[in-house]
């Protein structure tokens, strides 16, 4: 089977929040495929980031896919606001509520691509009953809440299991957390095709974004040849 196209999704969590619009423009020009937007509520995860008004304010600045990662519970009450704000992919955590199927139905009903995120401690099997409603499975390779954490290698087994379950379906497997030029190859060999990178993409400031993204892409592409 042909490998899914690789996509680099820099996370703006590591950006200069005082200059967020310029940061998004810089990431676009530096070669980001998707822009990853980490929404945190201080409840589902122990940190607070930003909400739909910030997504809306950034939307006119780029035509790149807005990949909105909701680390919030409950999520359902906010899905319409993120859709209206211009999200393209809306991802909810499987652990964030008792009604994952309903959340995914709601995202699809809003005309958006639906994603399910799995924490490192969550088994891959959780996504199996909802695969018909899923466009993206986001496998967390750190415990969500903060950028700059170390990649947890055991999640590669989760990526492999999700890949086996999703085989033949138009589902992208995304990996998020601790992705660097060292860890990206491992995640890609396991089957990830969308790589979120916060620290590794944004280190050094805007002047470095293009080189950072190119390095990550090169490391991922070199490993994608190893796909079965």
Q: Would you please indicate which residues are annotated as catalytic (active-site) residues?
A: 38, 176
With CB atoms as reference, the residue minimizing the distance to ligand DX5 is: 198
Contact 180, 223 (CB under 8 A): no
Residue recorded with tokens 């660097």:
180
- Rule CB under 6 A: choose which of 64, 108, 131, 149 binds ligand DX5: 149
CA quadruple 200, 201, 204, 205: dihedral sign: negative
CA 38 to each of CA 27, 45, 70, 142, 196: distance values in angstroms, whole numbers, following the listed order: 15, 11, 6, 14, 10
33 belongs to the binding site for Zn ion (CB under 5 A): no
199 belongs to the binding site for ligand DX5 (CB under 6 A): yes
DSSP label at residue 225: T
Binding mask 67-106 for Zn ion (x = CB under 5 A): --x-------------------------------------
Residue 58 contact, options Zn ion, ligand DX5, none, Cβ 5-8 Å cut-off depending on partner type: none
Q: Whole-number minimum distance, CB 138 to ligand DX5, in Å? A: 8
Q: Among 15, 18, 60, 21, which residue's Cα sits nearest to residue 38?
A: 15
d(CA 191, CA 189): 5
112 belongs to the binding site for ligand DX5 (CB under 6 A): no
d(CA 81, CA 184): 33
Cβ of 190: how many Cβ atoms within 10 Å? 23
Q: Whole-number minimum distance, CB 29 to ligand DX5, in Å? A: 20
Cβ of 117: how many Cβ atoms within 10 Å? 23
Q: How many residues of this chain bind ligand DX5 (CB under 6 A)?
A: 22
- Minimum CB distance to Zn ion smaller for 69 or for 189: 69
Q: Within 15-54, which residues bind ligand DX5 (CB under 6 A)?
A: 36, 38
List residues binding ligand DX5 (CB under 6 A). 11, 13-14, 36, 38, 69, 142, 144-149, 176-179, 196-200
């Amino acid at each position: 089977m042909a490998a899914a196209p690789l996509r680099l999704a820099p996370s703006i969590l590591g950006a200069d929040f005082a200059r967020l619009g310029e940061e998004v423009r810089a990431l676009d020009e530096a070669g980001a495929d998707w822009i990853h937007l980490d929404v945190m509520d201080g409840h589902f995860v122990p940190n607070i980031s930003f909400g739909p008004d910030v997504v809306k304010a950034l939307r006119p600045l780029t035509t790149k896919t807005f990949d909105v990662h909701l680390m919030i519970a409950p999520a359902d009450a906010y899905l319409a606001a993120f859709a209206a704000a211009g999200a393209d992919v809306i991802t909810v955590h499987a652990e964030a509520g008792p009604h994952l199927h309903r959340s995914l139905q709601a995202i699809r009903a809003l005309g958006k691509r639906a994603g399910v995120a799995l924490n490192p401690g969550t088994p891959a099997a959780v996504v199996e009953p909802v695969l018909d409603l899923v466009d993206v499975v986001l496998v967390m390779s750190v415990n969500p809440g903060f950028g700059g954490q170390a990649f947890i290698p055991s999640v590669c087994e989760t990526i492999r299991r999700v890949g086996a379950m999703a085989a033949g379906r138009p589902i992208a497997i995304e990996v998020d957390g601790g992705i660097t030029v060292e860890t990206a190859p491992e995640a890609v060999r396991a089957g990830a095709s969308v790589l979120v990178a916060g620290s590794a993409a944004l280190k050094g400031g805007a002047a470095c974004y293009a080189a950072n993204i190119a390095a990550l892409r090169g490391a991922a592409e070199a490993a994608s040849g190893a796909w079965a």
